Structure 1
Amino acid sequence: MSRQNVLSGSPWEDKMGYCRAVKIGNVIEVSGTVAIVDGETVKADDIYAQTKNILDRIANVLAGLGASMSDVVRTRMFTTDVSRWQEIAKAHGAVFGEIKPTTSIYQISALISPEYLIEIEFTAIVDGGRG
């Protein structure tokens, strides 16, 4: 099976030895993703906006791999404030309401930087005829 790595251009990819996404066969795994536009955090106090930004960015990553959000079978959401789960759910549900991947949401003590309120990982499986 061939392996396709997707790099985001972050200097941390080489330092830590990771990439944004990996596709092997028909499986795509997407690294934990935070909300960034042009190197800047998206609305550091708005967890809905951060969630939406992540979902939009990953939709583009998946498209580049011949997949779409409808191919997502699992999301894992890590937040520093689970009491704001309804805001997260609103953004997640707008994308995945009909798709309904399995999902988990975890409260953690911190993310890589304090302005990040949420980080999401994705697993997608593409139709063998498409990917």
Structure 2
Amino acid sequence: MTKRWVVLGGGFEERIGGVRAVVDGDWVHVAGTSAFDSAAASVPDDVVEQAEQCLRNVGAVLAEAGCTFADVVRVRYLLPAREDLEACLPVLRRVFGPVRPAATVMVCGLADARMRIGVEVDARRGPVDGVRIEVVEGERMLEQWRHVHNTVVPPGALSLGEVRERSGRYRLENAYVGEVLVGCSTVRPAEREGGAVTVIARVLPEWRGRGVGRVLYENGLAYARVLGAGVVETCVLAANGDGLRFAESRGFVEVDRYVLPEGLDEWVDLRRSVIER
């Protein structure tokens, strides 16, 4: 079972010998999270504003762990003053009402006297619904596409200018769950009449195994059909075992392995011989 930590830094986690969250296989355990706003280096005075900031902080940790509020199965609300709960309920209900996790309210002291509420959650990652695919447009989406590409294939890291140039020749798409960026894809048209169309799906490591790659791939495959392709190819970094297994599970067969000039990393070209129309 794979286990990893989500560490936000700031010193407090190290002082108490803990981390912000532990990802243990499909389970994500987020520690009690306060309303400290790291961007402003401050804590709101109002308890409702604190509740909102707590949820923003928890949401950021969940995204780092590869999930969203929709994956939460248990939540604990920690309040030093019982009477503050009522004012916070609309904010908490807005986020957790549609999810309906097991919920517990605990009246207890918090480590910082400024803190009036803390939120602690457990989530379980499973197949995600509602993966949204968008064609890359504008600088922000180009930078997001670049982030995923360079995270998944660091030996082939691209500058923003190189991504911008590719967007004029290829179809680039980003994948989102809610507003969280989870993957990207490339569809390269055939270089000659009757040639292969290349479809490449990339998923951020923390979001793999949840159906994101399937949605990206099927969307890219549909566009390849629009281009009239009868053969599709893909390219995977040999060290990316997840990517190779995914391609093979979709019917791709290895056709070549190579190292680029002046490179050290091995790449694998795979081909799927026929697209069913």
- Aligned-partner SS, 1:19: coil
Letter in 1 for 2:114: E
Equivalent-residue separation in structure 1 for 2:123 and 2:29 (angstroms): 7
In the TM superposition, structure 1's runs of 4+ consecutive aligned residues that sit over 6 Å from their partners are none
Number of corresponding residues: 128
- The 10-residue stretch of structure 1 (8-17 or 98-107) with the greater mean CA deviation from structure 2: 8-17
1:111 paired residue number: 110
- TM-aligned CA deviation for residue 10 of structure 1: 2.2
3-state SS of paired residue (2:8) = coil
Letter in 2 for 1:60: A
- Which aligned pairs between 1:1-131 and structure 2 lie closer than 5 A? 1-38=1-38, 39-41=41-43, 43-44=44-45, 46-108=46-108, 110-127=109-126, 129-130=209-210
Structure of higher RCO (CA pairs closer than 8 Å, 6+ residues apart): 1
8 Å contact 2:58–2:119 — kept in the other structure?
no
How far did 1:97 drift? 1.4
Task: State the distance in 1 between where 2:18 and 2:98 align.
Answer: 31
Deviation at 1:116, TM superposition (A): 0.4
Q: For residues 15 and 99 of structure 1, what CA distance do their matches in structure 2 show?
A: 34
The CA RMSD measured in Å over matched residues stands at: 1.5
1:2-22 CA distance string (max 9 Å, x none): 111000112122222100000
In 2, Cα distance between the equivalents of 1:59 and 1:33? 10
**Gapped runs of 5+ residues in structure 1?**
none
Which structure 2 segments of 5+ residues have no match? 128-208, 212-277
- C-alpha distance in 1 between matches for 2:42 and 2:122: 25
Is the 2:31–2:121 Cα contact (8 Å) retained in structure 1?
Answer: yes
Q: Calculate the TM-score normalised by the size of structure 2.
A: 0.44
Question: C-alpha separation between the residues in 2 aligned to 1:37 and 1:85?
Answer: 21
Question: Which structure is larger by alpha-carbon Rg, 1 or 2?
Answer: 2
Whole-Å separation in 1 of the counterparts to 2:91 and 2:210: 27
Q: Give the TM-score normalised by structure 1.
A: 0.91
Residue 53 of structure 1, CA deviation: 0.7
What fraction of aligned residue pairs are identical, expressed as a percent? 28
Return 24-33 or 83-92, whichever deviates more.
Answer: 83-92
Separation of aligned partners in 2, 1:8 and 1:100: 27
Contact 1:73 1:123 in 2 (8 A): yes
Q: What secondary structure sits across from 2:29 in the alignment? A: strand
